[in-house]
Amino acid sequence: MKSLRIVFMGTPEFAVASLQALVEAGANVVGVVTMPDKPKGRHQDTLQPSPVKQYALQAGLPVLQPASLKAPEFLAELQALRPDLGVVVAFRMLPESVWSMPRLGTFNLHASLLPQYRGAAPINWAVINGDRQTGVTTFFLKHAIDTGNIIFQRTTPITDEDNAGTVHDRLMELGAALVVETVQSIANGTAPAQPQVETEPLRPAPKIFKETCRIDWNQEGRAVFNFIRGLAPYPAAWTTLIDGDKRTEIKIYKAHFEPTSDARTNEEAPVPTNLAASAPKPCICGKDTLTVPVVDGRILVDEIQIAGRRRMPTADFLRGLHNRESLFVE
């Protein structure tokens, strides 16, 4: 592994773990490619380097930050590194001129069990869809995104206590170890390369936008519960809280679901019946609880954030609430 000249490509924290694992394993990382620094601050006058750049500089690794991956000057810099192998973790789509340049090719770490969840947000969608298992895959890049030959896969369970954040952190560590294992197998000439087999309906993992994150209270309770935890802690599921004429956007970071059979045993907040699908849903406020009825039970909201304020337990929100009798969400 130490003899291979490796170019690493990545940007967010998820990629840092893999880069650090390679460095600590003694890999010869001759260059790191990451996104250009982004403006931040109120006046956008301060540049923020990516987490990968920050780690690379600390580790004394050369950093390239091309605005365009097709720019001749960038391709010349990359060629000058004489890469044997490209490693991609949480980066952007690469042109063939980049991924085909290393003599042994380029492989990607993807946070799903391919061919399931091809796309930009595999962790979120696996939790949103209620999957009980996910994992990481290393595969060789080719033209169509996330379709190349699989090298290795590793799995991890998803429990009801998980959200996208906890799954992200587990996959980050699992993936870092798999990247090192993959590089070692390629260096040894023993890396498998199995075509992806599409034997079941495939679930995509498209990019998530703000409107994607709006809660549909007309779904069954388990689907709402999975949706909330699948978007927590980022970008977070949201809904509109209606208090008379006042409408406020709130984010819900944590909740749990009580089916009708369980919810009816709690006299503090009975589940209403005959809920109109198109109407706003009434919020039922207990002393420290905020519940929203759904078709098969209720959602108990545990942690929220009002626009412009900090995240807080629902009990803290309720203590500052004067009107508890006519709240709705939609």
120-178: per-residue pLDDT in tens?
Answer: 999 999 999 999 999 999 999 998 899 999 999 999 999 999 999 999 999 999 999 99
Read off the pTM: 0.92
Strands 63-64 and 284-285: unpaired
pLDDT of residue 262: 59
- Binning pLDDT at 50, 70 and 90, where does residue 274 land? very low
pLDDT above 80 for 258: yes
Burial class (CB in 10 A: 0-12, 13-18, 19+), 169: middle
89: three-class secondary structure by DSSP? strand
pLDDT above 70 for 269: no
- Binning pLDDT at 50, 70 and 90, where does residue 310 land? very high
By percentage, how much of the chain surpasses pLDDT 90? 79
Contact 316, 288 (CB under 8 A): no
Closest CA to 296 of 272, 323, 329: 272
Closest CA to 257 of 287, 228, 278: 228
Closest CA to 258 of 160, 186, 183, 181: 160
Q: How far is CA 290 from CA 69, 252, 281, 301, 316, in A?
A: 49, 11, 12, 6, 11
- Binning pLDDT at 50, 70 and 90, where does residue 287 land? confident
Query: How many angstroms separate the CA atoms of 301 and 256, rounded?
Result: 7
Q: Which residues contact 214 (CB under 8 A, 6 or more apart)?
A: 237, 238, 239
